[in-house]
Structure 1
């Protein structure tokens, strides 16, 4: 039990230190990095499974709504 408490305290101090100095917490990434990682895979899946036309139709629909 003492070992669990020591790990909890160390973990809490580590998070405080990252927040104090403006760093990100371990295990998080910037949303733009996540998008940059996901878009190539999404494009590949859309092409591989024939969903590219649906993506184009959705994008044009969104563009029309935003253009009004």
Structure 2
């Protein structure tokens, strides 16, 4: 209930409530290169920690193949 009253106060003051606070999903999709930039650092760390370079290369080549279509 406190969240709802807080939103009402913001709206009453003429401020917009960000979509994340209002509980709504943002519209639109993420560009594939943005998704790659987000995942790549974690993938590198996991490959180094677990020694899975072959698996990473196999998966990367599969993704490149799908994006190339």
Classify the TM-score, shorter chain: 0.3 to 0.5
| Structure with the higher helix share, 1 or 2 | 1
Larger radius of gyration: 1
